[in-house]
């Protein structure tokens, strides 16, 4: 038996082709070290302990390849699920924030909470002046003084109900538009994250298929079978009110 020729195989099709018409007592088989994990799995399906088949001289290599394939798929699945969970940890709160903003934008005017100073104080403060550069230069001289004549005067608050109502309406318009801007940014982030999730999912599956099919040293011997865990994602800050 030891004197029989040895045929090196790396796939079922290659084994069939090399064996040809030769009987089991005429040749022995040897698994190539670079056999892909998928091809090794296919060979493993028709290999078992026995006496009457074609003797495989390195069954340990086949066992290692088979084990590597099983563990690679298992570790990929764990990594994939962990990756999707991390995506969800960002996307799900983002969806909640988007839904909350849409509710806020749809509020009736009287439901929007008041912001800013009291309406009786609106527009009150120190008088401001506009200084056109053509008249006052880029760095104008301001009035300074302590007497009533040189002191910058104060400006009174809005005096009429109409002015105060208009100020309150502007507040609500500004708040609603701020929410719309916030919503636009979050929706843009969500779309990018969702697109990235789809691309990531496809890329991971493609990478798994690549490693299962490529001829390599994967499973050529005994080794550790754990992938490193993903780092914890950074916390996502809540949107500004």
pLDDT at 239: 52
Q: Is residue 118 part of a domain?
A: yes
Going residue by residue through the chain, which has 241 residues, state the pLDDT in tens, using 9 for 90 and above: 568 999 999 999 999 999 999 999 999 999 999 999 999 999 999 999 999 999 999 999 999 999 999 999 999 999 999 999 999 998 999 999 999 999 999 999 999 999 889 999 999 988 888 888 888 888 777 666 556 566 778 889 988 999 999 999 999 999 999 999 999 999 999 999 999 999 999 999 999 999 999 999 999 999 898 888 888 766 555 555 5
225 is a domain residue: no
Tell me whether residue 228 is in a domain: no
Number of domain units in the chain: 1
Residue 174 lies in a domain: yes
The domain of 138 spans 6-213
H/E element holding 28?
A: strand 28-31
Instruction: Identify the pLDDT of residue 238.
Output: 56
- Residue 237 counted as domain residue: no
pLDDT of residue 2: 64
Q: How many CB atoms lie within 10 A of CB 127?
A: 9
Give pLDDT, residue 163: 93
Instruction: Give me the pLDDT at residue 50, please.
Output: 93
Residue 238 belongs to a domain? no
Buried b (16+ CB within 10 A) or exposed e, 228-238: eeeeeeeeeee
Report yes or no on 50 lying in a domain.
yes
Place of tokens 């495989």: 56
3-state helix, strand, coil in the chain (%, to 5): 55, 5, 40
d(CA 147, CA 150): 6
Q: What is the DSSP string of 104-158?
A: HHT--GGGSPP-SS-GGGTT-EE------HHHH-SSPPPP--SSTTTSPPEEPPP
Domain presence at residue 63: yes
């Amino acid at each position: 038996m030891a004197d029989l020729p040895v045929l090196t195989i790396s796939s079922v099709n290659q084994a069939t082709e090399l064996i040809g018409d030769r009987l089991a007592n005429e040749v022995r088989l040897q698994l190539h070290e670079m056999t892909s994990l998928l091809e090794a799995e296919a060979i493993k399906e028709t290999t078992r302990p026995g006496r009457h088949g074609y003797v495989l001289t390195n069954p340990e290599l086949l066992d290692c390849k088979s084990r590597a394939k099983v563990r690679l798929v298992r570790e990929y699945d764990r990594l994939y699920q962990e990756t999707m969970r991390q995506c969800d940890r960002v996307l799900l709160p983002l969806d909640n924030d988007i839904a909350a903003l849409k509710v806020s934008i749809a509020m009736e005017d009287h439901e929007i909470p008041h912001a800013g100073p009291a309406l009786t104080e609106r527009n009150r403060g120190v008088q401001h002046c506009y200084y056109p550069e053509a008249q006052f230069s880029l760095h104008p001289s301001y009035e300074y003084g302590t007497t009533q004549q040189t002191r910058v005067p104060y400006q009174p608050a809005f005096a009429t109900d109409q002015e105060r109502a208009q100020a309150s309406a502007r507040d609500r318009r500004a708040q609603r538009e701020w929410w719309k801007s916030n919503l636009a940014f979050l929706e843009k982030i969500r779309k990018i994250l969702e697109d990235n999730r789809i691309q990531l999912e496809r890329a991971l599956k493609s990478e798994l298929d690549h490693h299962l099919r490529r001829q390599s040293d994967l499973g050529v011997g005994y080794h550790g079978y754990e992938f490193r865990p993903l780092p914890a994602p950074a916390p996502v800050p809540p949107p500004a009110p």
